Amino acid sequence: GPKTVLDGIWMATRTTECFGYLGPNGAGKTTTLKILTGQLEATAGTATICDLPIKPYDTRIHSLLGVCPQHDVLWENLSAREHLHCFARIKGVAPAEVAGAVEEIIQMLDLPEVADRPAKSYSGGNKRRLSLAMACIGQPRVVFLDEPTTGVDVGVRRKIWNCIHRLKQRASIVLTTHSMEEAEELCDRIAVMVNGKVQAIGTAQRLK
C-alpha cells in the first residue's frame, strides 16, 4: 500500500539563519526540500515562503528561491559564466547588472580559472561549486541546499562552507546533510530526521 514518506514535519526558518535537516539516507530530507521548493506537492499540510503558499509551477515562489540539488544538473557544453548569465536573467536580474552579478558569484565560489570552459571538463568539485553558484545568483530570499558537499574533497568542502557562511548574511538557508560535522559548522538550528519524522530539533550544542 501507500508509504508515508514524511509524517508531521513542522519547521520555520528565520531571516539570515541556516536551518539544517540532519539524518541518514532515506530519512526524508530530500523529499522535504522537494516539497518546499514546489517540485512535489504534499498530500496534506501547508508550506509558505514569504507568506506565499508553495505550489508547483508558481513563478512568484521560484523568483524568491535558490536551489542546489543533490545531483548536479548542468548543460555540458555551457561554461560556468554562461550558466550563471542564463540563471541571472531567469531570476530577474536587470540586464545591465547581469555581468557584475555573475562575476561576483564566480569570485565568491573561486571559479575564475574554469569560468569560461565547458562544464563537461570540470572536476566533481567544480561542478558542485557551479551548482551552488547557480543557487546563489539573483539575491534569493531563501536558498535550499541538498547535501551541498557530497562527493567533494576537504579543500573544496571548506570553500563551499565559507560561501555558505557569507550567503547566510543575506538569505535564509535550508540545508540537508548526513554529516554532524557539517551541521555543526553551518547550522544555527538542526532538525534530526529518522524515517520521515523529526525526532529532535535545536542547536548543535543542545542536541549533543
User: pLDDT per residue over 25-56, tens digit each?
Assistant: 887 888 888 888 888 887 777 888 878 888 77
Instruction: Assess if residue 6 is contained within a domain.
Output: no
Q: Report yes or no: 142 and 120 within 8 Å, Cβ to Cβ.
A: no
Question: Quick one: pLDDT band at residue 13, thresholds 50, 70, 90?
Answer: confident
CATH number at residue 87: 3.40.50.300
Q: Could you tell me where the beta strands, DSSP code E, fall in 52-141?
A: 52-53, 65-68
Residue 36 one-letter amino acid: L
Q: How far apart are CA 178 and CA 146, in angstroms?
A: 10
Count other Cβ atoms within 10 Å, centred on residue 19: 20
Structural domains counted in the chain: 1
Instruction: Assess if residue 2 is contained within a domain.
Output: no
Instruction: Assess if residue 182 is contained within a domain.
Output: yes
- C-alpha count within 13 angstroms, C-beta hemisphere, residue 88: 22
Q: How far apart are CA 208 and CA 145, in angstroms?
A: 23
Q: How far apart are CA 119 and CA 121, in angstroms?
A: 5
Q: How far apart are CA 1 and CA 88, in angstroms?
A: 43
Instruction: Assess if residue 47 is contained within a domain.
Output: yes
Residue 204 one-letter amino acid: A
Query: Which residue reads 508531521 in cell numbers?
Result: 8
Domain that holds residue 130: 18-207
Q: What is the pTM of this model?
A: 0.90
Distances in whole angstroms, Cα of residue 118 to Cα of each of 77, 132, 201: 5, 17, 42
Q: How far apart are CA 52 and CA 47, in angstroms?
A: 8
> Bridge partners of 196?
none
Query: Which residue reads 561549486 in cell numbers?
Result: 129
Using one digit for the tens of pLDDT, what is the confidence trace for 49-105? 878 888 776 777 777 899 999 899 999 999 999 999 999 998 889 999 999 999 999
